[in-house]
């Protein structure tokens, strides 16, 4: 069985069943951590990665937020209001430092190993369903 990972950016969408990750304003190093993690994991389900950058459409971002199983965001983004919003979501994890908001969300990602544990647990749960 071949696993498919599909990258989608604004204004596009896809309409097939897959695990959905929303990547919000990740920098190059953070994107590489996500990519390396997916390469490292075994038996991942088909996955869609929605990629939103700082200048992309906000309406598209919030639509994909509702469709995603997990949110990975850059806490050091220039759009700090978005970092605050995403830190309050139960299915969100972050790269960087949340400053005062770390009491709301303590699910920081510092390495491929951290993200491997998070995605591995979530993919395993998804596979069992």
Owner of token pair 């994909």: 64
Q: Give the 3-state secondary structure of residue 51.
A: strand
Query: Quick one: which H or E segment has residue 80?
Result: helix 80-87
Task: Return the axis-axis angle of helices 112-128 and 28-40, rounded to nearest 10°.
Answer: 50
Please identify every stretch of the chain with a pLDDT value under 50, giving residue numbers as ranges.
Answer: 128
For the whole model, what pTM was predicted? 0.91
Give the pLDDT confidence score for residue 99 in this predicted structure: 76
Task: Say what the pLDDT of residue 9 is.
Answer: 96
Element of type H or E holding 21 = strand 19-24
- The dihedral built from the CA positions of residue 121, 112, 11 and 63, taken in this order, carries a sign that is positive
Residue bearing tokens 């990519």? 35
pLDDT at 103: 63
pLDDT on residue 1: 53
Tokens in use for 70? 């997990």
Whole-angstrom Cα distance, residue 54 to residue 44?
Answer: 28
pLDDT of residue 102: 62
pLDDT of the residue at 98? 84
Kindly report, residue by residue over 90-114, the tens digit of the pLDDT. 999 999 988 766 666 789 899 999 9
Single out the residue of 47, 52, 46, 82 nearest to residue 64, CA to CA. Answer: 52
Q: Give all domains of the chain, ordered by start, each with its CATH number.
A: 5-128 (3.40.50)
């Amino acid at each position: 069985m071949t696993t498919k990972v599909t990258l989608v950016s604004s204004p596009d969408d896809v309409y097939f069943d897959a695990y959905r990750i929303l990547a919000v304003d990740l920098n190059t190093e953070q994107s590489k951590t996500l990519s390396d993690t997916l390469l490292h994991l075994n038996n991942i389900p088909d996955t869609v990665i929605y990629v939103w950058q700082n200048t992309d459409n906000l309406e598209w971002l919030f639509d994909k937020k509702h469709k995603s199983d997990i949110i990975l965001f850059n806490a050091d983004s220039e759009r700090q209001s978005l970092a605050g919003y995403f830190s309050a979501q139960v299915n969100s994890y972050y790269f960087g430092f949340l400053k005062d908001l770390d009491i709301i969300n303590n699910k920081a990602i510092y390495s491929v190993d951290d993200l491997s544990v998070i995605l591995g647990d979530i993919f395993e749960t998804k596979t069992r369903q």
